[in-house]
Amino acid sequence: MDLWSLSCLSVLAAGLVWMSVVDLRTGYLPDAGQAVLAVAGLGVAVEGSPAGIDWKMALAGAALNGFVFWGLRWLVSRFKGREAMGFGDVKLVAVGGLWLGPLALPYIMAAGGFLTLAGVGLLSLVRRKVLWRGEMPLGPGLAAGILAMFIAALAHVSPANAPWLKL
C-alpha cells in the first residue's frame, strides 16, 4: 500500500474510531468529527482518492446517502411515533458518501446494521444486562461499515474490480 492510501486510511480510521467511542459513551456523534471527516473526504476526492472516487461522485455520494438515511429516519420515526434515529447517523452516512461515493450505501447499511446488532448483543451477553434500554447506538456499526468498504476499495484499486464505486 502506498503512502497516500495509508494516509487516507489512517485519517478515516482515526476519525471513525474516535466518533464511535464518543457515540458509545454519550449516544451522540460529534459534529466536529463529522466536519473534519467531511472536509478530509472531499479533499481526498479532489486530490485523487485511492478508492477511485472523484469529487463529483463524492458529492453525489454525500447527497444520496444523506437523503436516503434522512428518509429512512423520517419513515421509521413516523412508524414508531418517536425519534428512531439520531441526525448524527444521517450525517455520518453522508460523510461516508464523500469517501466512497453513492453506490457503497447498501453495503454500508448492511454492515452497519449487522455489526450494530452483533456488537450490542455480544456486549449484552458479556455484561449480562440489556444495553441502551431499548436503543442501540448505530454510529459505531455504520463507522465500521464505512471503514470496511474503504478497505475493500483499497484492496480492489481498479474500478473494474470494485464495481460498486463507479456508475
In angstroms, rounded to a whole number, what is the distance separating the alpha carbons of residues 164 and 54?
14
pTM of the model: 0.86
- Altogether, the residues listed in the chain come to a count of 167
Q: How do residues 35-87 score in pLDDT, each as one tens digit?
A: 999 999 999 999 999 999 999 999 999 999 999 999 988 998 888 888 778 89
Read off the pLDDT of each residue in 102-128 and give the average, rounded to a whole number: 84
In angstroms, rounded to a whole number, what is the distance separating the alpha carbons of residues 1 and 51?
12
With vertex at residue 93, the alpha carbon angle to CA 88 and CA 94, rounded to the nearest 5 degrees, is 95
- Range with the poorest average pLDDT among 3-17, 48-62, 113-127: 113-127
Long-range contacts of the stretch 43-50 (C-beta < 8 A, 24+)? 44/8, 44/11, 44/99, 45/98, 45/99, 48/4, 49/8, 49/99, 50/2, 50/4, 50/5, 50/8, 50/9, 50/153, 50/154, 50/157
Q: What is the pLDDT of residue 116?
A: 83
Of 15 and 120, the structure prediction assigns the larger pLDDT to: 15
Please report, for the chain, the start and end positions of each structural domain, with discontinuous segments joined by +. 3-165
Give the closest residue to 109 by CA, choosing from 59, 60, 64.
Answer: 64
Grid cell, residue 136, equals 442501540
- Tell me the pLDDT band of 131, cut-offs 50, 70 and 90: low
